[in-house]
A = this chain, B = another copy of it.
Amino acid sequence: MEAERVTMKRVTIRQVAREAGVSTQTVSRVLNERPDVAAETRKLVREVIARLDYEPSAIARSLVSRRTYTLGLITSDFTDYFFTQVFVGATEEARQHGYYFMLSSTEHNSEDEPECIRLLTQHHVAGILLARPGLQSDDDRVLRLLRGGVAVVAAVYHPPGAQLLTVDVDNVDGGSQATSCLLNNGHHRVAMIAGPARWRSVCDRATGYRAALEAAGIPYDPTLIVEGDWSYASGYRAMRQLLAGGCVFSALFAQNDRMAIGAIRALREAGRRVPDDVAVVGYDDIPVAEYCDPPLTTVHQPMQEVGRMATRLLIRAIESPGGLGEEVRLKAYLVRRDSCGTPVAS
């Protein structure tokens, strides 16, 4: 009564060799595109491979060659457009170099990050791309684990004091651009909905915000700042809180577009028009930004490019190790749409 197990034996290199009347070595050479095979032999072997529908076992290959062409990606939230874009860029770049990514996301509980890393190291990943915010405790944990010979590149994540390769977007500049846009449009009281404080990017954008205020000679007022968690709902709540607090403000810089859109909903419900009563600038340039009402002015980040660049550095670190730490910082730029209002006539 046992289920019939069709174990469907795979064709091995040995069968190809026998069929072609050569040694397994020769087949191996053909597979690896070595030059030292007679053109005729090569052709014959190729034919046999095609006829038998032979596919080399990546597992056996990497066991002996000690190269897996596998990279690990540790990220936090796949639902977020931001990370999805990093992933898309990284995947594409990896494929061009013959590598592929093993995913390992720490979605819900970051408790299981050690387990994620174990999955990756047990599969002998050649390198790891860290694309998630810095959490408190894990820095040394991660780094110790990873110093075991795996290359590491951090995207949008800066382990303090670690000398490693990082790729990031200039968040100070981005925050400054967003804020300046609002100031240039004549606003003096600019509220900010920030992301979670433990994110480096949050601090940086806040720094940009303060710098822009300072440059405009406008005092910094901490009561205008509320923290969200990047979600639409948190943006909505944050704006309700600002409104309930009776703060006076005529503009808002939200540190991501989702919170901006949540905040706009709260403003609308409170009878405040955007941009007439409150001008709004978001961050990320998610696809819906162009289509919401009003179309959202936002800071565009080249996230695919971040993923691509990080992967390029990672592969370089794998293939020629011993390089030094390096930080690549890409620029973000403001995309002007209706939500920020218009410049004041000078």
- Name A62's closest neighbour in chain B (CB-CB): B59
A118 and B88 CA atoms in complex are apart in Å by: 20
Contact: A78 with B68, CB < 8 Å? no
Contact: B292 with A59, CB < 8 Å? no
A78 and B232 CA atoms in complex are apart in Å by: 21
Q: How far is the CB of A24 from chain B (nearest CB, A)?
A: 16
Within 8 A of B (CB), among A1-28: 3-8, 10
Contact partners of A231 in chain B: CB under 8 A: 287
Q: Is A185 an interface residue (CB 8 A)?
A: no
Contact: A292 with B293, CB < 8 Å? yes
Contact: B58 with A148, CB < 8 Å? no
Contact: B236 with A265, CB < 8 Å? no
Interface residues as binary, A49-60 with B (CB distance below 8 Å gives 1, 0 otherwise): 000000111111
Given known A58-B122, A84-B78, contact A7–B290 (CB-CB < 8 A):
no
User: Of B84, B121, B262, which contacts A84 at CB under 8 A?
Assistant: B84
Stretch at the interface among A38-46, A97-105, A135-143, A244-252: A97-105
User: Of B10, B79, B105, B123, which contacts A58 at CB under 8 A?
Assistant: B123
Looking at chain A, what size class is its interface with the partner chain?
35 or more
- Name A274's closest neighbour in chain B (CB-CB): B293
A9 and B119 CA atoms in complex are apart in Å by: 18
Q: Is A346 an interface residue (CB 8 A)?
A: no
Contact partners of A288 in chain B: CB under 8 A: 232, 258, 261, 288, 292
Contact partners of A283 in chain B: CB under 8 A: none
Contact partners of A148 in chain B: CB under 8 A: 8, 10
Q: Is A107 an interface residue (CB 8 A)?
A: yes
Contact: B232 with A258, CB < 8 Å? no
**Sample (8) of A-B pairs whose CB atoms are under 8 Å apart:** A3-B322, A3-B323, A6-B322, A55-B118, A57-B124, A79-B85, A91-B103, A91-B105
- A residues with a Cβ closer than 8 A to B are 3-8, 10, 55-60, 62-63, 68, 78-79, 81, 84-85, 87-88, 91-92, 100-103, 105, 107, 118-119, 121-124, 148-149, 231-232, 236, 258, 261-262, 264-265, 268, 287-288, 290-293, 320-323
Given contacts A59-B68, A261-B291, list 7 more A-B pairs with CB under 8 A: A3-B320, A6-B321, A7-B149, A10-B148, A58-B124, A59-B62, A261-B292
